[in-house]
Amino acid sequence: MFHKGEKEKQLAYSNQVTSDENGWVLASQIFPGNLHDSQTGLETVINYIEAHEEVDMAVMDSGYDHPVLLHELFKRGVKPVIPYKRPKGRKGIGGLSNALYLTKNRFKYIEFHDYYVCPNEKILTYRGINKQGYKAYKTKTKDCLSCPFKTQCTNQKTKVILRHFYEADSEEAKLIRLSEVGKDIYPKRKTSVERVFGISKMNHCLGFTFLRGLKKNEDRSLMILSMYNLKKLATIMW
């Protein structure tokens, strides 16, 4: 079962495609539609990079912005380039908009002491780590009781912030995105892998399938994308 954003729920498969900056398809892999891009991307992207050591930069959309995937890329000497991702979740307490709601980036992390400081100058201390690899930081009840930002911050007695064990890699990826290199290379997605998907869906029926099973759909996907490469090659030769 596939469900993403405002799209309707449907039975589907996820097609992870890798291309170079000139739009040549390099790899493709099919996954169940109920897996997030950060999970499927971990297998697809890392497998390709390990087989091609010459790769030094990976340009991905916001769905791949996950600390574990980013950590694995940095560990292999590859710079991830990802776009800005809007904060998701509640719009705010009492119907307030996101602009008025205090998001995580409004809380300052003090690495040396390993705690957060809220906009009201109160400390959120470390309270342990969960199974998903997120460290929990929490305020004291008395600190939130008379806080002037309470309605913009939380509807609970205390404020809890989760920080992934590899959060530093996410912060480093954001710096790359804001750098001149990041600003220059990310727009190339429009003319490379985005064009692959656009043309393959509109002209080569990649957007739907009558087949069932990962293997059958992976074979079909590889045939469609191979045809895309051959058509691109024929156009250049002509």
pLDDT at 96: 46
- Note the pLDDT tens digit of each residue in 183-225: 999 999 999 999 999 999 999 999 899 999 999 999 999 999 9
> What is the SS3 assignment for 59?
strand
The structure tokens listed for 161 are 């912030």
What distances in angstroms separate CA 186 from CA 121, 171, 182, 193, 223, one per listed residue? 37, 17, 6, 11, 28
Q: Give me Rg for the CA atoms of the chain.
A: 22
The phi and psi torsions of 150 (rounded to 5 degrees) equal -55, -45
Is the pLDDT assigned to residue 14 strictly greater than 80? Answer: yes
What is the pLDDT of the chain when averaged over all its residues? 88
pLDDT at 37: 86
The structure tokens listed for 182 are 């990041």
pLDDT band at 146 (very low <50, low <70, confident <90, very high): confident
Residues 122/150, Cβ–Cβ less than 8 Å: no
Residue 24 CA to residue 200 CA, distance in Å, equals 13
Average pLDDT over residues 25-42: 90
Residue 150 CA to residue 158 CA, distance in Å, equals 9
pLDDT band at 88 (very low <50, low <70, confident <90, very high): low
pTM of the predicted structure, to 2 decimals: 0.80
pLDDT at 87: 60
